Amino acid sequence: MRRPPAILAFLSLALLLIAFSLPSRAASPGEPRQAAGPMITLRASGVNEFTSVTAPQRTRYAPKSATINVAFSGDWPEDARTAFTYAKGIWETQLTSSVPISVTASWEDLGSPTILGSAGPRLVNFGGSPPSGIQANTWYPVALVNAIRGNDTLPSNPDIIAQFNSTQAAWYFGTDGQTPNNKIDFASVVLHELGHGLGFVGSMQVSGGQGSWGLSGAPVIYDQFALNGQGIRLLTITSPSTDLGIELQGGDLFFDGSNAMAANGGTAPRLYAPNPFEPGSSYAHLDEDTFIAGDTNSLMTPSLGMAEAIHDTGAITRGIFEDIGWTIPGAVPTPTPTHTPTATHTATATRTPTATQSPTNTATTTATATGTLSPTATASTTHTPTRTVTGTQSATVTATATTTATETATHTPTATSQPTQTGTTQRLFLPLAIR
Ligand SMILES: [Ca+2]
**Per-residue pLDDT, 63:** 77
In this prediction, residues 252-258 reach a mean pLDDT of: 98
State if pTM tops 0.85: no
The dihedral formed by the CA atoms of 294, 295, 298 and 303, expressed in degrees to the nearest 10? -40
For residue 241, pLDDT beyond 50: yes
| Spacing, Cα 308 to ligand 1 middle (Å) | 9
For residue 400, pLDDT beyond 80: no
Report cis status (omega within 30 of 0) of the bond before 38.
no
The CA–CA distances, whole Å, from 72 to 141, 158, 223 equal: 21, 12, 30
For residue 243, pLDDT beyond 90: yes
> What SS3 class is residue 429?
helix
| Spacing, Cα 156 to ligand 1 middle (Å) | 34
- Count of C-beta atoms within a 10 Å radius of residue 103: 24
**Per-residue pLDDT, 330:** 73
| Spacing, Cα 291 to ligand 1 middle (Å) | 7
Least-confidence region, from 56-60, 238-242, 419-423:
419-423
| Domain end among 279, 313, 333 | 333
What is the number of domains present in the chain?
Answer: 2
Same domain, 304 and 388: no
In this prediction, residues 137-144 reach a mean pLDDT of: 98
**Per-residue pLDDT, 392:** 33
| Spacing, Cα 416 to ligand 1 middle (Å) | 108
| Spacing, Cα 302 to ligand 1 middle (Å) | 6
Summarised one tens digit per residue, pLDDT across range 279-326 is 999 999 999 999 999 999 999 999 999 999 999 999 999 999 999 999
For residue 35, pLDDT beyond 50: yes
**Per-residue pLDDT, 343:** 38
In a domain, 359, yes or no: no
Same domain, 378 and 321: no
Same domain, 154 and 294: yes
pLDDT > 70 fraction of the chain, expressed in percent and rounded: 68
In a domain, 386, yes or no: yes
Give the DSSP H or E segment for 430: helix 421-434
Same domain, 301 and 371: no
Same domain, 75 and 139: yes
Same domain, 318 and 421: no
Ligand 1 (ion): residues with CB under 5 Å are 301, 303
| Spacing, Cα 270 to ligand 1 middle (Å) | 13
Residue 47 binned pLDDT confidence (cut-offs 50, 70, 90): very high
The CA–CA distances, whole Å, from 190 to 50, 78, 119, 297, 351 equal: 19, 15, 9, 16, 44
Same domain, 425 and 277: no
Higher pLDDT, 312 or 56: 312
In a domain, 410, yes or no: yes
In a domain, 160, yes or no: yes
Least-confidence region, from 11-15, 53-57, 236-240, 382-386:
382-386
The boundaries of the domain holding residue 381 are 364-434
Same domain, 327 and 375: no
**Per-residue pLDDT, 31:** 87
Same domain, 329 and 377: no
For residue 215, pLDDT beyond 70: yes
Give the DSSP H or E segment for 394: helix 394-415
**Per-residue pLDDT, 59:** 52
Residue 414 binned pLDDT confidence (cut-offs 50, 70, 90): very low
The highest-confidence range among 15-29, 324-338, 348-362, by mean pLDDT, is 324-338
| Spacing, Cα 37 to ligand 1 middle (Å) | 23
In this prediction, residues 186-191 reach a mean pLDDT of: 98
Same domain, 369 and 253: no
In this prediction, residues 203-215 reach a mean pLDDT of: 98
